[in-house]
Chains A and B, each alone.
Chain A
Amino acid sequence: MDESKKIGRRDFVRGAAAFALAGGTWAAVGTKAEGTVWQLDPNKCTQCGRCATHCVLNPSAVKCMNQFNICGYCDLCFAYLHPGSRERNTGAENLLCPTAAIERKFIEDPYYEYKINEDNCIGCAKCVEACLVFGNGSFYLQVRQDVCINCNECSIAKACPSNAWSKVPASKPYMFITGETPPGQK
Chain B
Amino acid sequence: MKRLSKAALLLLFLGLAASVYAIEIRFAPPDFQTDYTLPGERIPAPSAGFGAWDVLILFAALSTATWLVLKKRSRRGLFLLSIACMVYFGFWRKGCICPVGSLQNVAAAILIPGVGVSAVVVAFFVMPLIFSLFFGRVFCASVCPLGAIQELVAIRPIKISSSIERALGLGKYVYLGVAILGVGTGAGFFVCRYDPFVGLYRLGHSFNMLLAGGVILVLGIFIARPYCRFLCPYGVLLGWMSKFSKWHLDIAPQGKCVDCRLCESSCPYNAMDMPTPIHLMEKQDTGKKRTQRLVLLVPVITGIAAFAGYLLHEPLSRMHPTVQLSERVAAEDLKLIPEQILETEHFRAGSQTTEQLHAEALALRSQFKAGGALLGAFLGLVVSLKLVGLSVVRKRTVFEPHRETCFSCGRCYPYCPVEPEGTPNVAQERV
Residues of A with Cβ closer than 8 Å to B? 8, 10-11, 13-14, 17-18, 21, 24-25, 27-29, 31-37, 43, 46, 48, 50, 56-58, 65, 67-74, 107-108, 111, 113, 115, 118, 132, 134-138, 144-153, 155, 158, 161-162, 170, 173-174, 176-179, 182-184
Q: Across the interface, do B431 and A11 meet the contact criterion of CB distance under 8 Å?
A: yes
CB-defined contacts of A10 to chain B, threshold 8 Å: 244, 246, 430-431
- The answer to whether B39 and A144 have CB atoms under 8 Å apart is no
Q: A27-B110, A148-B47 are known contacts; what are 8 more A-B pairs with Cβ within 8 Å?
A: A14-B133, A56-B204, A70-B29, A73-B30, A132-B22, A145-B48, A161-B346, A178-B23
Q: Which residue of A132, A135, A144, A150 has the most chain B CB atoms within 10 A of its CB atom?
A: A150
Which of chain A's residues have a CB closer than 8 A to the CB of B349?
46
- The reply to whether B202 and A56 form a contact with Cβ atoms under 8 Å apart is yes
A113, B130: Cβ atoms under 8 Å?
no
- Is the pair A31, B116 in contact by a Cβ cutoff of 8 Å? yes
- B residues 13-51 near A (Cβ < 8 Å) are 13-14, 16-17, 20-30, 32-34, 36, 38-50
A153 adjacent to B120 (CB under 8 Å): no
> B45, A146: Cβ atoms under 8 Å?
yes
Are the C-beta atoms of A153 and B202 separated by less than 8 Å? Answer: no
Residue interface bits B194-208, CB-to-A below 8 A is 1, else 0: 000011001011100
The reply to whether B20 and A179 contact each other, CB–CB distance below 8 Å, is yes
How many contacts between A and B, using CB within 8 angstroms? 201
Contact B23 A136 (CB under 8 A): yes
Are A132 and B23 neighbours in the complex by a CB distance under 8 Å? Answer: yes
Does chain A have a CB within 8 A of B129? yes
Q: Given A173-B45, A178-B17, A74–B116 Cβ distance below 8 Å?
A: no
Determine the distance from Cα of A108 to Cα of B96 in the docked complex, in whole angstroms. Answer: 47
**Main secondary structure on chain A at its contact with chain B?**
loop
Q: How far is the CA of A107 from the CA of B49 in the complex (A)?
A: 38
Determine whether B119 belongs to the interface, using a CB cutoff of 8 Å to chain A: yes
| Interchain Cβ contacts under 8 Å between A and B, 17 examples | A18-B130, A18-B133, A29-B116, A33-B117, A34-B118, A48-B346, A50-B342, A69-B38, A70-B14, A72-B27, A108-B34, A113-B36, A146-B45, A151-B192, A153-B188, A161-B342, A178-B13
How far is B24's CA from A134's CA once the two chains are assembled, in angstroms? 10
Residues of B within 8 A of A178 (CB): 13, 17, 21, 23
Cβ–Cβ contact A146 & B47, under 8 A: yes
Q: Which residues of B contact A65 (CB under 8 A)?
A: 41
Residues of B within 8 A of A48 (CB): 342, 346
- Asked if residues A14 and B30 are in contact (CB atoms below 8 Å), the reply is no
Residues in B with CB closer than 8 Å to A43 are 21-22
Q: Is B130 a contact partner of A8 (Cβ separation < 8 A)? A: no
- CB of B241 closer than 8 Å to a CB of A: yes
Write the nearest CB–CB distance from A70 to chain B, whole angstroms. 6
Q: Are B350's CB and A107's CB within 8 A?
A: no
Smallest distance from the beta carbon of A180 to chain B beta carbons, Å?
Answer: 8
Min Cβ gap B268→A in Å is 27
Inter-chain CA distance A151–B191, complex, in Å, is 12
